[in-house]
Amino acid sequence: MALVLSDGVGAAIRAHGVETYPNECCGALIGRDGVVTVTYALPNTTEEGPRRRFLVRPSDYREAEKRASEAGGDLLGFYHSHPDHPARPSQYDLDHAWPFFSYVIVSVHAGVSGDMTSWRLREDRSAFDSEELTHA
Amino acid sequence: MPNTINIPTPLRPFTDKKESVEVSGGTVGELLTDLTTKYDGLRKHLYTDEGKLRNFVNVYLNDEDIRYLQKEQTPVKTGDTLSIVPSVAGGCS
């Protein structure tokens, strides 16, 4: 599998991660056929500490699906940042993942964005598989 | 009479890409059981190994979260619509 980020998408994710640092940011990935054309920044509504957790509440999830539909696209997945942690999924990420979505993670160290990776949940929920991330 | 369950994007590959599915039953739990009987691949994404709904799986009867009704024992009537709506969560540790 591979995920393509259209022009400006990677920059928007990085900018959001820097903006919310030292807290985690989150947002939706909207596009079609594995190409993300637009992001939709969402509020991190976690009550477990936004420096290490994010939560997209159901009402915001519904809004993201609506936005994707209005844009003539699909909801392809979600992005979030890992402040001062590597861009690798945690056990918590795995425990809460949905199938078939792409999960883009950007690492933000000391307020500066670093590695960006993308992951998909294995169908048996046992692990994430890395997917190739390219920039159009 | 069947009821309708709205399926969110990440679960549609299990329902032949259908956005909604017709199911039958007298309670929310029975509708969900009918759904996972028809589309077995959904089960592990909706339920834990212990058979409980995962905490990031939200189920609405019409527009009411079933957690504030009688959960899976909530009775349903003709024309009621169930919606499965994800919470999306994660974090760096």
Closest alpha carbon to A91 in A114, A125, A61: A125
Identify the helix (H) or strand (E) that includes residue A35. Answer: strand A35-42
Ordered by where they begin, the domains of chain B are 3-86 (3.10.20.30)
Q: What's the total number of domains in chain A?
A: 1
Closest alpha carbon to A99 in A118, A80, A69, A124: A124
Asked if the model's pLDDT at residue B61 lies above 90, the reply is: yes
- Cβ of A54 and B11 within 8 Å? no
A67: which chain B residues are within 8 Å (Cβ-Cβ)? none
Nearest to B92 among A56, A82, A124 (CB): A82
Q: Where do we find the tokens 């994010």?
A: A54
* Percent of chain A clearing pLDDT 90 (strictly above): 98
CATH number of the domain at A109, please. Answer: 3.40.140.10
- Cβ of B92 and A75 within 8 Å? no
A21, A111 Cβ separation under 8 angstroms: yes
Asked if the model's pLDDT at residue B34 lies above 80, the reply is: yes
Check residue B85 and give its pLDDT. 98
- Cβ of B85 and A61 within 8 Å? yes
Check residue B40 and give its pLDDT. 96
CA torsion sign, A4 to B13 to A66 to A42?
negative
Average pLDDT over residues B70-79: 96
Beta bridge partners of A82: A107
How many beta carbons lie within 10 A of that of residue B69, not counting itself?
A: 15
Check residue A40 and give its pLDDT. 98
Check residue B93 and give its pLDDT. 80
What are the tokens at B44? 């592990």
Check residue B2 and give its pLDDT. 85
Whether residue A131 lies in the annotated active site: no
For chain A, list residues with pLDDT below 70: none
Nearest to B90 among A75, A84, A93 (CB): A93
Beta bridge partners of A108: A83, A113
Nearest to A54 among B58, B89, B93 (CB): B89
Chain B nearest CA to A53, separation (Å): 4
Distance CA B10, CA B14 (A): 9
A84: which chain B residues are within 8 Å (Cβ-Cβ)? 92
- Cβ of A56 and B11 within 8 Å? no
* Domain membership of residue A89 as a residue range: 2-135
Cis peptide before A22 (omega within 30 of 0): yes
Identify the helix (H) or strand (E) that includes residue B47. Answer: none
